[in-house]
Amino acid sequence: MSRWLAPIAAGALAAALAWHLSLVAAPFALMRVAMNRLGASGRVNSFSHGAPTRAESQFVVRPSPDLLYSTCVYDRSSGPVLVDVPAIPDHYWSISIFDARTDVAAVRSDRDTGGAPARLALVAPGTTAPPGYQAIALEHARGIALIRILVSGDADYRAVDPLRQLASCRAG
């Protein structure tokens, strides 16, 4: 009996380790897929403004057809990345910064800014932001910056679209 205890314990330990590794690795892997899909054009540190979501054009699971999405695959490994979001009056909007393991490093909505533009600097820990920008320290160099804007129908989309084109994501 006792000679089976060690293999059983080792087996249980291996299973527990595999469990943990699968869970820890999953977000990184999925985020990498999302980044590759979004950055398929090869453009990093640049916003891409998605068309209104249709069943035929979904870039990630559970997209909301009520929201307009603009995405930037950022890479702060060569220095700060500056993210500017203009004011979009009378609409819910937010900018969120996701790191390589899907954690949200920052969210700023029109409620947080009082309707003013949002200006974030994505930096390595210990780095300061340029004047006028709020530093968001990121342990991982790459991730996704995502703008959401609530729109109601096609006419509203056409009114809002030129405004969001003013958003920028660029190496500082």
Partner 1 sequence: MLAGGGSAVQAVRQGFADGTLASGPWETGKDFGSVDATPLVRARVALRGLLALPRSEAMYFTAQRDSSGAALDGSCRYEIRGGRFAARWWSITLYDHAGWLVPNEWHRHSVGSGAVPAQDADAWTIAVAPAEEPGLWIPSTGAPQFDLTLRLYHPGAALRDAPQQAVMPEIQRVACGA
Q: How far apart are CA 150 and CA 164, in angstroms?
A: 12
Q: Taking Cα atoms as reference points, which of 107, 106, 64, 109 lies closest to residue 87?
A: 109
**Which position among 40, 51, 104, 166 is part of the footprint of partner 1 (CB under 8 A)?**
104
CB of residue 156 to partner 1, shortest distance in Å? 9
**Which position among 64, 77, 128, 165 is part of the footprint of partner 1 (CB under 8 A)?**
64
CA dihedral (116, 114, 98, 123) in degrees, to 10, reads 60
Stretch 116-155 residues interacting with partner 1 (CB under 8 A): 144, 146, 150, 152
The pairing of strands 134-137 and 118-123 is parallel
Which alpha helices (H) appear in the chain, and where do they start and end? 2-38, 110-113, 153-164
With respect to partner 1, which residue has the nearer C-beta, 17 or 166? 17
Does residue 96 touch partner 1 according to CB under 8 A?
Answer: yes
Q: Using CB under 8 A, list all residues that contact partner 1.
A: 14-24, 26-27, 30-31, 34, 53-56, 58, 60-66, 92, 94, 96, 98, 101-104, 107, 109, 111, 144, 146, 150, 152
